[in-house]
Amino acid sequence: MSTRNGKKSFYEEAMETFHRAADLIGMNPRVRLELEEPDFEHIFYVTIEIRDRLVPLSDEEAAEFQDIRPSSVKAAAAHEPLANGQFVLHRRALLESDIELRRGVINIPQKGVFRVQKGGPRKFKAYRIQHNQVRGPYKGGIRFHKDVSLDLFKALAADMTWKTAIAEVPFGGAKGGIKIDPFNYSREEIEHLTLRYVYKFRRFMGPFLDIPAPDVGTNPEIMAYMMRQFMDGEREHHKMRGVVTGKDVRIGGSEGRLRATGQGVVYCIEEWAKEKGFSLDGCRVIIQGFGNVGSASAEILHAMGARVVAVNDANGTVYRDAGLDVPALVQHVHHNPANLRRTVARFPGGTAISKDDFWRVDADLCIPAALGDEITGDVAERLRVRLVAEGANGPTTREGDHVLAQRKIDVIPDVICNAGGVTVSYYEWLQNRRLEQWTEAEVNQRLAAALKKNWAIIRDVARNRPQHLGAVDSRPYCVGREVDVRTAAMIVALKRIEAHYLLEGFSQ
């Protein structure tokens, strides 16, 4: 394995489990080379026009403009609030307004004194890494986030290759997105950015080529823009609805997709609890991230009687020892237009605590459902839980893994734990192809069966317990010795992927 200045890259570190599992199954050397690096790394730039901004003045600057006459503008239409305190200024709304501008500064009643900052063209770095497609079309999420990189997307794309194999859906692996903080841009700007991304990437996408889905910072609305842009002008465009998944159910999305990742996390937890003879009713849960995955997991567990005692996100942590009122928290985060960063911070039904204290909260289950590398060795030392169920991708570092193992804290690895999303994405794709609409109950029944079966195989591989019980046949996967669950999951993935190369052979 190559190293830079003797130091492994993030991607190389992420691939360590791959190499361990490949060694254990004696993987064909050419297959290993095929999987070691992505098929394609697309890096490109997208440009859009940014609207003018109202930028708040500092108190010192504002003092200079104390006597500026308040302008009467049609507030709702004229300025759209952004999470960084600025407003998007829609100039057309000023046409009917009575305004005073002095040296580019405007006083807006109840809002403050702002400098008008001219908009204009901006460029953003975009990525799509297509890791592998031997089992089916490339598949994976689109992330809009300020901290993304080629290395990160390579690791996440490879994870999708393993995950689709583990979930037994006929897809490969991909991941991509744009380096941007989406909270600092208007809805219209995000729409334009998404359309431009698809405009540039269009020829590499398709329902049988590469199928994006939502990830951090993206949602069903953004998937709708992507689909529209991809199908635009196509005569038989209804054939193409499966080009993205995670769509709104009214335009071809699947019932149950919105909550599918959280639902899958809970199905895995249920299996763990069943085996341990542990009751989820009344158990204590801490969750990091309260976006799609975190909030769905919280809602489902809360409905089952579990107590979500603490939630941490990018902007704060709330804690309530008796359990947070999860529906009220969902309301506060996702249905409150004034909560621009969609954060749990300032939730009135809980106490604010530090992130440091969050990891120390006494609980039974910990569900990381935010970004990667959060459960470091240090954090793992502090955790007071019995199980870490990885809703996020790559939330635990190598050191974190060692410490969790030493401390006998169980882990349900991401590649199975959060595979509910891609599994229901496959159901959505199937429904699109067949022009069908399944009920949520049908979707969840299939999802439960798929995840529970594959999680059972992974546990058998981990314990070296080859057996054939009902739908679960772990005999082809066990390697003759016990392994950790993460390696076990990778073994299952690699055996399924390798079979394609070995049976189909290589095109030269």
Give the residue numbers annotated as catalytic, written as ranges.
Answer: 175
Q: Which amino acid is at 394?
A: G
Continuous segment of H or E residues that includes residue 312:
strand 307-313
Q: Taking contact as CB under 6 A, which single stretch among the options 113-121, 209-217, 358-366, 381-389 is the one that binds ligand NAD? A: 209-217
Distance in angstroms (rounded) separating the CA atoms of residues 501 and 504: 5
**Per CB under 6 A, does 212 bind ligand NAD?**
no
The owner of tokens 């509910």 is 420
We find the least distance from the C-beta atom of residue 370 to ligand NAD, in angstroms, to be 3
Q: Which amino acid is at 471?
A: A
Question: Residue 249: exposed, middle, or buried by beta-carbon count in 10 A (0-12, 13-18, 19+)?
Answer: middle
**Per CB under 6 A, does 180 bind ligand NAD?**
no
> Among 173, 256, 391, 413, which residue sits at the site for ligand NAD (rule: CB under 6 A)?
391
Judged by beta carbon, residue 261 or residue 397, the one nearer ligand NAD is 261
Residues 6+ apart with CB under 8 A from 373: 394, 395, 397
> Among 12, 215, 271, 498, which residue sits at the site for ligand NAD (rule: CB under 6 A)?
215
**Per CB under 6 A, does 271 bind ligand NAD?**
no
Which two structure tokens, joined as six digits, stand for 487? 């390696």
> Among 38, 137, 207, 214, which residue sits at the site for ligand NAD (rule: CB under 6 A)?
214
> Among 183, 197, 290, 426, which residue sits at the site for ligand NAD (rule: CB under 6 A)?
290
Q: How wide is the angle at C-alpha 179 spanned by C-alphas 15 and 139, nearest 5°?
A: 50
| DSSP, residue by residue, 128-163 | EEEEE-SSSSEEEEEEEESS--HHHHHHHHHHHHHH
Judged by beta carbon, residue 243 or residue 314, the one nearer ligand NAD is 314
Residues 6+ apart with CB under 8 A from 497: 31, 35, 132, 134, 135, 161, 165
Which two structure tokens, joined as six digits, stand for 11? 């991607």
Which two structure tokens, joined as six digits, stand for 112? 């403050």
> Among 186, 245, 263, 312, which residue sits at the site for ligand NAD (rule: CB under 6 A)?
312
**Per CB under 6 A, does 293 bind ligand NAD?**
yes
Which two structure tokens, joined as six digits, stand for 508? 């030269």
- The DSSP output letter for 253 is P
**Per CB under 6 A, does 350 bind ligand NAD?**
no
> Among 161, 194, 261, 444, which residue sits at the site for ligand NAD (rule: CB under 6 A)?
261
How many chain residues are in contact with ligand NAD, going by CB under 6 A?
24
We find the least distance from the C-beta atom of residue 391 to ligand NAD, in angstroms, to be 5
Judged by beta carbon, residue 24 or residue 244, the one nearer ligand NAD is 244
Residue 58: count other Cβ atoms within 10 Å of its Cβ: 8
We find the least distance from the C-beta atom of residue 15 to ligand NAD, in angstroms, to be 18
**Within a 13 Å sphere around the CA of 164, how many CA atoms are in the beta-carbon half?**
29
We find the least distance from the C-beta atom of residue 418 to ligand NAD, in angstroms, to be 4
- For residues 167 and 493, the answer to whether their CB atoms sit within 8 Å is no
**Per CB under 6 A, does 369 bind ligand NAD?**
yes
Q: Taking contact as CB under 6 A, which single stretch among the options 68-76, 233-241, 282-290, 357-365 is the one that binds ligand NAD? A: 282-290
Q: Taking contact as CB under 6 A, which single stretch among the options 1-9, 199-207, 308-316, 500-508 is the one that binds ligand NAD? A: 308-316
Tell me the three state secondary structure of residue 174: strand
**Per CB under 6 A, does 289 bind ligand NAD?**
yes
- Cα-to-chain-centroid distance, residue 389: 15
Q: Where are the beta strands (DSSP E) in 191-255?
A: 210-214
> Among 229, 393, 444, 487, which residue sits at the site for ligand NAD (rule: CB under 6 A)?
393
> Among 106, 148, 216, 450, which residue sits at the site for ligand NAD (rule: CB under 6 A)?
216
We find the least distance from the C-beta atom of residue 216 to ligand NAD, in angstroms, to be 4
Residues of this chain that bind ligand NAD (CB under 6 A): 214-217, 261, 288-294, 312-314, 343, 369-371, 391-393, 418, 421
